[in-house]
């Protein structure tokens, strides 16, 4: 049954676990609680969003088509061509694009459309993902009946999976691979050669490569390259490639639930069929507002400037503490605090600062020894507030964790046991 596949994962959903970890604590500190645990932008969305929603309010009564509107597809196609400097004709908005109710749903549904019941010789298919990872990848693999395979993405590998370490037998039974750049949570950016290598592997071993590029517009210096750019460099073929984008991070419009998928027209058509049967097509006013947002760059640059300011604040306050490095992309800090769970409890109880233990985004890895995983030492801190609030939160963090560094050996004394606490 489906629930049997999901049950182990439900108990390890990162925010379910975080709630359980902190449930016996009252937020401390002298100021208001600060929630750095969720990657939810706190800046107001651009005014154009409200203007367009109001202007198209008469369309709320109409059912939206799964393929969206010609104007939405045109706006996204134009943006992709500009952003990734794609050659003319690479993207046909009517064949290669589909709106999505946020990238999360689309990333989940690609597993349903890409993973067969079995690979060659009846073996259980595998779904590859980085470790640490976005929890939707594992949930999608489980629902599709595949084996989730967690590829270490540690400091030693540049916080991206090492493709040379992949076993041929594993690749032969792989049906889908999730590739996230800029990476969540570490902010590592894959170069064009790395993206090309994934595409070539997917075609050689006949599996779909899902490129999660949701943080592509949040970067500190150079714009991160994208998978469609890599396809163009390989000759323009989009076979077995899907990319996923969203306005949640780019435009600070998480509640709009609007994104898109682009790539292999065969896979785009499958996604559209899934939406028609059981998915959600973005409403027409949302599509109109989304088209306007994809055409506007001023608000994106303003948001990017805010995140750059936050990272400058972080560099000033943290210095060389906790292995701090300014990431190339995204808006997270990935801080080595020795024991992420213990640090999260102390920060909430003593400073009213809520962060996500890195262990809740990862699975134990035998290369780490015992039951430890690549996220156990870390906390993820989402820099989603304005600079002043960010500075306040980071000063609280330093005051608590500098006071009594947390040992990593032996695991946390506050590890929550799961069973009935789903």
For residue 205, is it within any domain? yes
For residue 414, is it within any domain? no
Task: Quote the CA–CA distance of 285 and 69 in Å, as a whole number.
Answer: 11
For residue 370, is it within any domain? yes
Instruction: Check residue 272 and give its pLDDT.
Output: 95
Of 245, 279, 295, the one marking the end of a domain is 295
Instruction: Check residue 404 and give its pLDDT.
Output: 63
Instruction: Check residue 187 and give its pLDDT.
Output: 96
Whether 226 and 268 share a structural domain = yes
Whether 354 and 238 share a structural domain = no
For residue 40, is it within any domain? yes
For residue 347, is it within any domain? yes
Task: Give long-range contacts, CB 8 A cutoff, 24+ apart: 57-61.
Answer: 57/285, 59/283, 59/284, 59/285, 59/288, 60/283, 60/284, 60/285
pTM metric for this prediction:
0.92
Task: Quote the CA–CA distance of 215 and 182 in Å, as a whole number.
Answer: 6
Collapsed DSSP state (helix, strand, coil) of residue 131: strand
| Domain CATH for 173 | 3.40.640.10
Whether 175 and 266 share a structural domain = yes
Of 295, 317, 352, the one marking the end of a domain is 295
User: What does 309-353 look like in DSSP terms, one character per residue?
Assistant: HHHHHHHHHHTTGGG----SBSSEEEEE-S-HHHHHHHHHHHH-E
Whether 119 and 247 share a structural domain = yes
Whether 63 and 125 share a structural domain = yes
pLDDT in tens, 402-420: 976 565 444 443 333 322 2
Whether 102 and 203 share a structural domain = yes
Whether 96 and 164 share a structural domain = yes
pLDDT in tens, 214-254: 999 999 899 999 999 999 999 999 999 999 999 999 999 99
Instruction: Check residue 417 and give its pLDDT.
Output: 30
Give me the domain span that covers residue 133.
47-295
For residue 409, is it within any domain? no
Calculate the alpha carbon distances from 185 to 205, 210, 273, 333 in Å: 28, 17, 32, 7
pLDDT in tens, 281-299: 999 999 999 999 999 999 9
For residue 252, is it within any domain? yes
Residues 290, 125 contacting (CB under 8 angstroms): no
| Cβ-Cβ contacts under 8 Å for 166 (sequence gap 6 or more) | 128, 151, 201
Whether 264 and 152 share a structural domain = yes
Whether 75 and 184 share a structural domain = yes
| Domain CATH for 382 | 3.90.1150.10
Whether 238 and 304 share a structural domain = no
For residue 408, is it within any domain? no
Q: How many domains does the chain have?
A: 2
Collapsed DSSP state (helix, strand, coil) of residue 134: coil
Residues of the chain with pLDDT under 70: 1-12, 120, 365-370, 404-422
Q: Specify burial of residue 190 (Cβ count, 10 A radius: 0-12, 13-18, 19+).
A: buried
Whether 265 and 342 share a structural domain = no
Whether 191 and 213 share a structural domain = yes
Instruction: Check residue 420 and give its pLDDT.
Output: 26
| Cβ-Cβ contacts under 8 Å for 287 (sequence gap 6 or more) | 64, 68, 69, 71, 72, 99, 258
């Amino acid at each position: 049954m489906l629930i049997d596949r999901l049950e182990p994962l439900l108990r390890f959903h990162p925010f379910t676990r975080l709630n359980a970890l902190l449930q016996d604590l009252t937020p401390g500190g002298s100021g208001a609680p600060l929630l750095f645990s969720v990657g939810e932008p706190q800046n107001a969305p651009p005014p154009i969003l409200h203007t367009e929603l109001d202007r198209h309010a008469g369309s709320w009564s109409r059912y939206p088509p799964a393929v969206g509107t010609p104007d939405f597809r045109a706006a996204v196609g134009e943006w992709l061509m500009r952003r990734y400097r794609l050659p003319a004709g690479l993207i046909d908005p009517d064949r290669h694009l589909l709106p999505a109710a946020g990238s999360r749903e689309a990333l989940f549904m690609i597993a349903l459309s890409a993973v067969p019941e079995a690979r060659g010789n009846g073996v259980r298919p595998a779904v590859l993902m980085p470790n640490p990872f976005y929890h939707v990848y594992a949930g999608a693999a489980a629902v599709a009946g595949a084996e989730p395979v967690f590829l270490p993405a540690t400091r030693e590998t540049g916080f991206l999976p090492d493709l040379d370490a992949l076993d041929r037998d594993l690749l032969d039974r792989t049906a889908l691979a999730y590739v996230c750049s800029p990476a969540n949570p570490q902010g590592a950016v894959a170069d064009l050669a790395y993206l090309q290598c994934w595409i070539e592997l997917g075609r050689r071993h006949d599996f779909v490569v899902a490129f999660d590029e949701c943080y592509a517009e949040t970067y500190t210096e150079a714009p991160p390259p994208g998978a469609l750019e890599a396809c163009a460099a390989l000759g323009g073929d989009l076979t077995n490639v899907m990319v996923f984008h969203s306005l949640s991070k780019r435009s600070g419009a998480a509640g709009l639930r609007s994104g898109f998928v682009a790539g292999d027209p065969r896979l785009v058509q499958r996604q559209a069929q899934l939406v028609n049967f059981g998915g959600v097509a973005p409403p027409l006013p949302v599509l109109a507002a989304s088209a306007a947002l994809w055409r506007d760059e001023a608000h994106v640059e303003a948001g990017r400037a805010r995140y750059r300011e936050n990272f400058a604040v972080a560099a000033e306050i943290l210095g060389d503490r906790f292995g701090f490095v300014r990431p190339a992309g995204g808006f997270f800090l990935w801080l080595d605090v020795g024991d992420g769970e213990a640090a999260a409890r102390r920060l909430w109880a003593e400073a009213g600062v809520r962060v996500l233990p890195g262990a809740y985004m990862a699975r134990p890895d035998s290369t780490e020894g015992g039951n430890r995983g690549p996220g156990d030492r870390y906390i993820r801190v989402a820099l989603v507030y304005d600079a002043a609030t960010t500075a306040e939160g980071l000063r609280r963090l330093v005051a608590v964790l500098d006071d009594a560094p947390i040992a990593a050996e032996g695991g946390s004394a506050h590890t929550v046991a799961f069973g009935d606490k789903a």
